Amino acid sequence: MQFLKTLGLAVALTGLATACSLKEEPYGFISQTNFYKTESDANAALVYAYAILPEIEYYSRGFITITELPTEDITLKPDAGASNFEFDRLAVRADNVDLTTTWRYAYIGINRANAVIGNVPSITAMAQANRDQLVGEAYFLRALHYFNVVRLFGAAPLHTTPVTSLSQTNAAKGTMQEIYALITDDLKKAIAMTDVTRRDGRANKVAAWGLLAKVDATLASGKNTGVPGYEFVTDAAALYAEAKTMATNVTTNTSYGLDSDLKAVFDVTKKSGPEHIFDVATDRSGLTEGNFSKLPLMFIPYIDGAVFTLNDGTALKSGYNHFITEPALYNSFDPADKRKTDLIPNQVTVNNKTTTLGINDYSRPFTRKFIDPGQVGEQTSANTPVLRYADVLLLLAEASGPTTEGYAAINRVRARAGLGALTPGLSAAAFFDAVIQERAWELCFEGNRLFDLRRSHKMESVLVQKYGKTITGDAYYFPIPSREVDLNSLL
C-alpha cells in the first residue's frame, strides 16, 4: 500500500509543472535548477503524475459521470444537477461544467506526464533501468489521457512538452490521426522501457500491452464500422493483428488471469488479484478526497439512512442513490448471469426485514463493483478499474474474430459468468456484435460502454432505436468546452 500512501502526499509537492489546459497561471512550478536532480526527484515527479487520476473530477467521479450516464447503464435520481442530466439525456452543451472539468483534468494529467518525460531522462544520478521504468510509466499515462481526450472530444490540442508559463497554454488542434499516432508511439515506448513487475497502483509492460490492444481495436472497429473521424485509418486488418498480438502478450503472462470469483475481482482487500492490470488507486486513510474515494456512495442506494446487509452478509451504509441502474441494462442480462445475480444485488435487509429493490423503484438494484464494507465515514478504498483481464480477453476475441481462438476467449468470460458457450458459426459481423454485447455485460459501470458504442457505430441503433433515447448534437464526440474555445485563440 506504500504507493497509495505516497499519493496522499503528492498534493504537497512543489517543483513540478502542473499547468492545466485552462488559461490560468500554472501552479506548483519552480525552476528546473531546483528540481529534477536526483532519483528521489524523479520518483516524486512520477507520483505527482499518478496523483491526478483519483481526483474527484477525474476517475473517482467525473469520468464515470460522463462515460456512463449517456449509456443504458445508469440514470440519475430526480434531484440530480442539471449538468449531470445533460449527459443522461445526451444533450451535452459546450458550457457543461462536468465536461469542462474532465477536459481540464485530462490536460493536467498530460502536463504532469510531459514533465516526467521531458526532465527525468537528464537525471544521470540513477540507474538506467530505473530511469527507463519511470519515463516508460509516464508515456503510458500520457497515452491514457490522450486516449480519453480523443475518444471523448475527437480532434484536440496536442501538447508534448511541459507547459510552464501562461504563454505556452494555447495550442492548435491536433487531428485525430496525429493524436492516435502519439498514443501508439507512447505505448510502444512504454512497452520498450518498462518491465512486467507488478507495483501497487502503477502501470507496467502488461498494462501497456493491454492499452495498446484497446487503442488498436478502437481504430480498427472505428474504420470498419464507418465511425465519423476514423477515415484516416488505412489498414484495419493490420491493427487487429497487432491488437491480437498485444492481447496475447497479456493472456500468456502468468502473473495475470481470470479470477474465478466475480466478487473477488471487486474486493477492496484483494487489489492485487489476478485480474487487476491497471486500476486508479485510492486509500480510505487518505487525507482528502482524491486520496480516498466517495464513488461507491454515488451507486449505493439510500435505505432510510440505515446500515443494511446484502444476501451474503456484507454490511453497507446508505449511500447517495445518485447513479441508479437503468432497466435497459438490468433486464438485458440472462437471468442466470452471475454478473447480474452476484454483482447487482436486489435485496437489502434492515433490522431483520428484507426488502426487494425493484428496477423501476427510487432505490434500485445497484452495482457492487464499487463498494467498501470497511469504509470510514464517507471514505472508501474502492479503486476505479481502467484495464482488467476480462477486458483484454474480450479484445482478444474481437481481434481474432470467429475463429477457434476468438471463441475460446469470449467463452472463458461467459463461463465465468455461468453462461453457456456463444453460438458457434457466427459471421464476422455477428461475432463482432456479440463481443460488443458481451463487453456491455462484463464491463458495465466501469466507463467502457460509451466508447464501445461510439467505436462500433451503435449510438443510434442501440440508444435511440433499441432503448428510445434521444440524442441532441454529435453522438460521437462531445463539444470542446466553450471556456477552452474562449481562452484559446488557436481553437
Q: How far apart are alpha carbons 247 and 241 in whole angstroms? A: 10
pLDDT tier for residue 6 given thresholds of 50, 70 and 90: low
Residue 25 pLDDT: 36
Flag whether pLDDT at 10 surpasses 80.
no
pLDDT tier for residue 11 given thresholds of 50, 70 and 90: very low
Q: How far apart are alpha carbons 88 and 86 in whole angstroms? A: 6
* 48-62: average pLDDT: 96
Percent of the chain with pLDDT over 90: 86
* 17-30: average pLDDT: 37
Beta bridge partners of 323: 76
Flag whether pLDDT at 8 surpasses 60.
no
* 420-446: average pLDDT: 98
Q: Which long-range contacts (CB under 8 A, 24 or more apart) does 77-85 make?
A: 77/320, 77/321, 77/322, 77/324, 77/362, 80/322
Flag whether pLDDT at 169 surpasses 80.
no
Min mean pLDDT across 32-41, 100-109, 274-283, 433-442 is at 32-41
Q: How far apart are alpha carbons 440 and 251 in whole angstroms? A: 21
Instruction: Count CB atoms within 10 A of the CB of residue 419.
Output: 18
Min mean pLDDT across 152-156, 163-167, 263-267, 427-431 is at 163-167
Q: How far apart are alpha carbons 417 and 473 in whole angstroms? A: 37
Flag whether pLDDT at 23 surpasses 70.
no
Min mean pLDDT across 116-120, 404-408, 473-477, 484-488 is at 484-488
pLDDT tier for residue 487 given thresholds of 50, 70 and 90: confident
pLDDT tier for residue 17 given thresholds of 50, 70 and 90: very low
Flag whether pLDDT at 19 surpasses 90.
no
Contact assessment for residue 346 and residue 366, using Cβ atoms and an 8 Å cutoff:
no
pLDDT digits (tens, 9 = 90+) for 401-431: 999 999 999 999 999 999 999 999 999 999 9
pTM strictly above 0.85:
yes
Instruction: For CA atoms 288, 290, 291, 297, give the dihedral sign.
Output: positive
Residue 216 pLDDT: 98
Flag whether pLDDT at 275 surpasses 60.
yes
Contact assessment for residue 77 and residue 322, using Cβ atoms and an 8 Å cutoff:
yes
CATH (one of 1.10.10.370, 3.40.50.720, 1.25.40.390, 3.30.70.1140) for 1-191+458-491? 1.25.40.390
As given in the structure block, the three cell numbers for residue 287 are 487525507
Residue 363 pLDDT: 95
Q: How far apart are alpha carbons 305 and 102 in whole angstroms? A: 31
Flag whether pLDDT at 24 surpasses 60.
no
pLDDT tier for residue 342 given thresholds of 50, 70 and 90: very high
Residue 254 pLDDT: 86
Q: How far apart are alpha carbons 57 and 54 in whole angstroms? A: 8
Among 3, 264, 259, 244, smallest CA distance to 137 is for 3
Report the mean per-residue pLDDT for the chain. Answer: 92
Flag whether pLDDT at 483 surpasses 80.
yes
Residue 9 pLDDT: 44
* 439-457: average pLDDT: 98
pLDDT tier for residue 32 given thresholds of 50, 70 and 90: low
Q: How far apart are alpha carbons 430 and 24 in whole angstroms? A: 49
Instruction: Count CB atoms within 10 A of the CB of residue 82.
Output: 9
pLDDT digits (tens, 9 = 90+) for 101-153: 999 999 999 999 999 999 999 999 999 999 999 999 999 999 999 999 999 99
* 398-403: average pLDDT: 98
Please state the separation of Cα 74 from the chain's center in Å. Answer: 16
Q: How far apart are alpha carbons 403 and 299 in whole angstroms? A: 38
* 225-236: average pLDDT: 98
Top pLDDT among 367 and 25 is at: 367
CATH (one of 3.30.70.360, 1.10.490.10, 2.60.40.10, 1.25.40.10) for 195-274+386-430? 1.25.40.10
Give residue limits of the domains in the chain: 1-191+458-491, 195-274+386-430, 295-382
As given in the structure block, the three cell numbers for residue 152 are 471523448
Q: How far apart are alpha carbons 405 and 77 in whole angstroms? A: 43
Q: Terminal CA-to-CA distance of the chain, rounded, Å?
A: 42
